[in-house]
């Protein structure tokens, strides 16, 4: 297993000693975006499973499982890259299925799907609108920065982002506090001046506990879990979030 290094992290990083503004949500100096499912539309991955002879619904189970395993490694003070966990969990999940090609080829074919994912429909206009408010935009993904770079280049939104950050450089997966602290340190802001934007309640909860403001993007009309800290804002799209912050 490969370990992600965190030796460069400063022990005096911003923390919950500087909580989000008690006056409620306001336009932050920095918006930090999750990438997978928040900006990228991962629904085409189901077709990749079907193409290799696996059930389409396995795509959702696989993605949830790889996140679980990344979180589990972080919980025991270890780590590995998103790509390695994703590929290895595919090998496990596809084992014994009546595939129409070899297991190695099936894994490669599905993993290649990340390179062609589209954005959600609201993202291009939403990112442009949020950038137009004068706040800084960055990403913080549990995946690799190169995947985000390719995605944004294809969609023509790369110019709006100051930096594309990954937890692979932080040494800890989100929702560990060190992941958010890494992003804050890299951008030179305190938690009260930053807001995480994500579709995942676990990400919202982690960022809130690290002292950031949060915005939950709820495109599906789902219910937010009561056991997680509530978001400061809820939006049905990024354009809706821009309207609220503007």
CA distance between the termini of the chain: 45
Residue 8 has pLDDT above 60, yes or no: no
Contact 162, 194 (CB under 8 A): no
Mean pLDDT of the region 160-186: 97
The pLDDT assigned to 25 comes to: 57
Contact partners, residue 214, CB within 8 Å, separation at least 6:
20, 195, 196, 197, 198, 204, 207, 208, 229, 231, 232, 233
**Structure token digits, residue 52:** 């290799």
Task: Give the distance between the most distant pair of CA atoms in the chain.
Answer: 58
pTM of the model: 0.90
What is the band of 38 on the pLDDT scale with cuts at 50, 70, 90? very high
């Amino acid at each position: 297993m490969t370990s992600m290094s965190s030796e460069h992290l400063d022990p005096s990083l911003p923390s919950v000693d500087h909580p989000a503004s008690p006056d409620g949500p306001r336009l932050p100096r920095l918006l930090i975006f999750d990438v997978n499912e928040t900006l990228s539309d991962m629904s085409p991955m189901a077709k990749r499973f079907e193409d290799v002879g696996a059930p389409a619904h396995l795509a959702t189970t696989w993605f949830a499982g790889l996140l679980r395993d990344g979180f589990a490694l972080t919980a025991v003070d270890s780590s590995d890259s998103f790509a390695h966990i994703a590929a290895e969990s595919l090998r496990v999940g596809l084992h014994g299925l009546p595939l129409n090609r070899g297991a190695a080829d099936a894994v490669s074919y599905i993993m290649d799907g990340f390179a062609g994912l589209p954005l959600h429909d609201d993202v291009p206009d939403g990112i442009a609108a949020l950038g137009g408010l004068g706040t800084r935009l960055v990403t913080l993904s549990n995946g690799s920065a190169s995947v985000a770079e390719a995605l944004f280049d294809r969609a023509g939104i790369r110019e709006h982002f100051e930096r594309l950050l990954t937890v692979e450089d932080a040494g800890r997966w989100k929702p560990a506090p060190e992941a958010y602290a890494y992003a804050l340190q890299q951008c030179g802001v305190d938690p009260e001046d930053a807001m995480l934007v994500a579709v995942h309640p676990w990400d919202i909860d982690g960022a809130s506990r690290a002292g950031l403001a949060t915005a939950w993007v709820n495109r599906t009309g789902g219910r937010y879990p009561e056991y997680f800290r509530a978001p400061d804002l809820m939006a049905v799209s990024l354009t809706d979030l821009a309207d609220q912050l503007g």
